[in-house]
Amino acid sequence: MKKSLLINSIFGFLIQISIAAFLIFVLHFLKIEFIGRYLGPVGLLFILLSFLYSLRKRKIIHGGSMKNYLLFHEVMTWLGALLILVHSGIHFNAIIPWLATAAMLANITSGFAGRFHFEEASRELEVSKKVLMKKGLNDEDAENKLWGASLHAQVMEKWHAIHLPITSIFAGLLVFHVIVVLMYGAF
């Protein structure tokens, strides 16, 4: 089960790269690569919308299940990153946008790794929780007791310490790129 989930994560990443490469090829083949220029802002919008999950997690907004918000976060970041990859279009020109793209790819990889550990931790907890609940503990107590004991749950905590800085670096480079584009009127 573990293996299949890991393969799923790697497969998801490879599919994204392949779709991006295919779209870049099609745009160039049809000589309409200029469309890629406008996919950047759309991708950015998708990624910004995906942060509704972070707002919900930090209880800045309320309503709706966390599970759905997480799914929304995953789908929107996946789509946003795909559009930004097409936007970058394998043109190696300026270094800052490319550093931002590299940070985004690292972010996607880290996201898939996080998803893998989160799913595994949830699965482990679910099994052990049932055992503890049979022994008379209520749902919340059982979860609190087990969270620290799960290996994947421990990895998840360390993963947060990596995912957040990568996101911050990506955000910083992206903000700089957007400012430069607005400054020099390349829109």
Does residue 184 interact with other proteins by CB under 8 A?
Answer: yes
Q: Which of 7, 45, 48, 175 binds other proteins (CB under 8 A)?
A: 175
* Dihedral pair phi/psi, residue 93, rounded to 5°: -110, -95
Tell me which residue of 127, 129, 118 sits closest to 151, measured CA to CA: 118
Provide DSSP, 43-54.
HHHHHHHHTHHH
Alpha helices for the chain (secondary structure H) = 2-29, 35-50, 52-57, 66-88, 95-134, 139-147, 151-183
| Nearer Cβ to other proteins (7/94) | 94
Q: Verify binding: residue 155, other proteins, rule CB under 8 A.
A: no
Burial, 120: exposed, middle or buried (Cβ in 10 Å; 0-12, 13-18, 19+)?
buried
Q: Using the minimum distance from each CB to other proteins, give the nearer residue, 1 or 186.
A: 186
Of these, 10, 35, 102, 133, which contacts other proteins (CB under 8 A)? 35
Note whether 168 binds other proteins by CB under 8 A: yes
> Binding marks (x or -) toward other proteins, 78..107, rule CB under 8 A?
-------------x-xxxxx-x---x----
Q: Does residue number 33 form part of the binding site for other proteins (CB under 8 A)?
A: yes
Residue from 11, 18, 38, 71 that binds other proteins (CB under 8 A)? 38
Question: Would you call 103 exposed, middle or buried from its count of C-beta atoms within 10 A (0-12, 13-18, 19+)?
Answer: buried
* Residues making contact with other proteins (CB under 8 A): 33-35, 37-38, 91, 93-97, 99, 103, 160-161, 164-165, 167-173, 175-177, 180, 182-187
